[in-house]
Amino acid sequence: MSDVINLLPDSIANRIAAGEVVDRPAGAVKELLENAIDAGATRIQLTLRDAGRTLIQVVDNGCGMSDTDARLCFERHATSKIRTSDDLFAIHTMGFRGEALPSIAAIAQVELKTRQHDAELGTRVVIEGSSVKQQEPCACQPGTTISVKNLFFNVPARRNFLKKDSIEFSHIEEMFKRVAIINHDIAFTLTNGDKLLYDLKAENLAQRVAAIFGTGYSQKLYPIEESTNVVSLKGYVSKPETARRTRGEQYIFINKRYIRNNALSAAIEKAYTDLIPDRTYPSYFVNLEVPPDRIDINIHPTKTEVKLIDDQVIFSILRAATRKAIGQFALATELEFSSVEGLDFTPPPSGYTPPDPTIKLNPDYNPFHAERHTTGGGAPHSAAGVATHNTNPLLRNFFDTAKPAGTQITIPSSANDTDDDTDTPDTPDSQVTPFQLGGTYIVSSIKSGLLLIHQQRAHERILFERYMTPPEQIASQQLLFPIECTFSPADSELLGELLPLLKAQGFEIVPSDGKVHSYCITAAPPQLTADSIEPLIESVIADSKGAMLQKFNDKSRSLNLSLARHTAIKAGQPLSVDDMQRIIADLFACQLPRLSPSGEPTLVVMTHEELRQKFNIK
């Protein structure tokens, strides 16, 4: 028999490695940025074309390479970081296996220009599909410039699997943030096409976080710091009141390398137990310093997964440090008492009796007969035929487009709704007053049995359908004090795309004069309180980014789903009888009353037959 085992050519081996190291443009960006950091750069520029498909260029002012190193760096397993096997357990740099550049060169057209600071000339190397096309001296700036053109040009199957530019750029942006946050002492720029999105100066961690996520973000964080012989940690965790419904800004680093570790994430989140609502998540930016011989970072090609020898101890320390930071800084007052000086207080004379306070009242004023107007100058409107004198003030505005009084509400039939008279519509019993159970459920009676409604999910369904089919005249209320918000460059761009949709729901949001990435909110739907508007807009942006990553193309649906989620009444909120009756009426006027917009059940019907079975009645 002939031999069947052959050694793979380097070009094929590099393509296989590229499938693990560079699975999409973001993978190439990560490797090139980390190489620049390892080179000691203090300024790094990232430029993209077509979300990295056409061009990824990284320019740094690091140490540069000699003529020989410029060529050798494209050889597989060529590295300056490892000399002996013992070095694997004392790694302090980002890249060390020598796979990144040969893998990228195997699937792209690469041009490298590099010069050491004490050299007069640099070196230019051109490689295409692992084949060296040109190497020559050149005049260039100290440091390294590497341009990756036409990624996956010789692997059409991989190129065809790339997503649309907006999705690929979102992955690149996230990779850029991971590198830029922890390397805050390095200046970074990110240019996409002709647009400069990030221009980050060398600064401390809090300033870097604010520069990336918006200037107001630093006000939402508590510092966290702890040092032990097992681990030293330092960074920031968010205030409990700023918890969000999406896992957005959550960054854990070990020895300045971004990692994903469910146990460490859980350690931080468990510190927020009983401090934040269910299904909400804190933000955090924490770096752990662990002795290199107590960690294995070589278990995954992208080096984002690690194994820790002292994982249980580190888990406990991280959770305790987070809890300590929350408790310590939550009690710190924001008042500067030293600034309160020269209080002029003269005590009243002996025997002085202050007069009783007086209150001026208008006996003819009735707030529930007041008319509300829209900003567009439309006619006043109110909820027709609805008794609102006992209605929750928050809900009163939500229910201003209710069905007219006297409308018969029919509960859609289901397999569980059985009755002897199937021709008779199953309607709520108007003689039975609904009541609230556990602050979460509305209990009422229908012809076929007992009706239980989850108040939050029901209200989400009501609002979602109302947002999806808004009336011609949208209710909007001018704010007494406009709200100015500053966002990250990417969030600012996304908000700009959402402005027409937000305007259709009653928001008036315009770019701030003379301020980059800032917007001014001048009007909002009347059901929103002033302090809820900015968190709502931030949540809408976060949900829209999540929808983009999950391939949702319908921005309108995503926006309306987010608005419904964040403006609906919550479980645990007390409701009046009028509130409950209105929710029941509005829910069964919906097209899909049985499901929330997220697909969760809004109601449960327990039939008479089911009740008889519960009580063993034959």
DSSP string computed for 411-461:
PPP-TT---S-TTS---B-TTS--EEETTTEEEEEETTEEEEEEHHHHHHH
pLDDT tens figures, 19-71: 556 888 999 999 999 999 999 999 999 999 999 999 999 999 999 999 988 98
More confident residue, 431 or 328: 328
How many Å apart are CA 422 and CA 410, to the nearest integer? 13
- Three-state DSSP at 591 gives coil
Cα 476–chain centre separation: 27
pLDDT at 522: 92
Cβ–Cβ under 8 Å, residues 158 and 27: no
Query: Is it the case that residue 77 has pLDDT exceeding 70?
Result: no
H-state helical runs in 550-607: 555-567, 577-587
Spatial CB neighbours of 95, under 8 Å, sequence gap ≥ 6: 31, 34, 35, 38, 79, 81
Cα 327–chain centre separation: 25
**Could you give the angle at which helices 311-330 and 262-270 cross, rounded to 10 degrees?**
30
Q: Which of 52, 283, 295 is nearest to 181 (CA)?
A: 283
Q: Which of 81, 25, 21, 34 is nearest to 60 (CA)?
A: 34
pLDDT tens figures, 29-43: 999 999 999 999 999
Query: Is it the case that residue 377 has pLDDT exceeding 70?
Result: no
pLDDT tens figures, 240-283: 988 887 777 899 999 999 988 889 999 999 999 888 887 788 99
Q: What does the domain layout of the chain look like in residue ranges?
A: 10-202, 207-329, 364-618
More confident residue, 558 or 198: 198
Give whole-number Cα distances, 292 to 33, 315, 513, 547, in Å: 22, 17, 50, 38
How many Å apart are CA 528 and CA 564, to the nearest integer? 12
User: Which CATH entry fits the domain spanning 207-329: 4.10.95.10, 3.40.50.620, 3.30.230.10, 3.30.70.980?
Assistant: 3.30.230.10
pLDDT band at 458 (very low <50, low <70, confident <90, very high): very high
Highest mean pLDDT out of 2-11, 256-265, 511-520: 256-265
The CATH code belonging to domain 364-618 is 3.30.1370.100
How many Å apart are CA 490 and CA 174, to the nearest integer? 10
Spatial CB neighbours of 362, under 8 Å, sequence gap ≥ 6: none
More confident residue, 439 or 358: 439
How many Å apart are CA 307 and CA 292, to the nearest integer? 11
How many Å apart are CA 164 and CA 50, to the nearest integer? 10
Cβ–Cβ under 8 Å, residues 412 and 559: no
Cα 335–chain centre separation: 31
Pairing of strands 449-454, 603-607: antiparallel
Least confident of 210-214, 302-306, 416-420, 597-601: 416-420
Portion of the chain with pLDDT greater than 70, in percent: 74
**Summary mean pLDDT of the chain:** 79
How many Å apart are CA 107 and CA 23, to the nearest integer? 11
Q: At residue 84, what is the residue type?
A: T
Give whole-number Cα distances, 39 to 61, 259, 264, 551, 561, in Å: 8, 21, 30, 37, 46
- What average pLDDT score do residues 168-193 get? 94
pLDDT at 420: 39
pLDDT tens figures, 395-454: 555 554 444 333 444 444 443 443 333 333 466 666 678 999 988 999 998 888 899 999
pTM of the model: 0.67
Q: 10-202 domain in CATH 3.50.50.60? A: no
pLDDT at 225: 94
Q: At residue 590, what is the residue type?
A: C
pLDDT at 121: 94
Q: Which of 113, 83, 115 is nearest to 98 (CA)?
A: 83
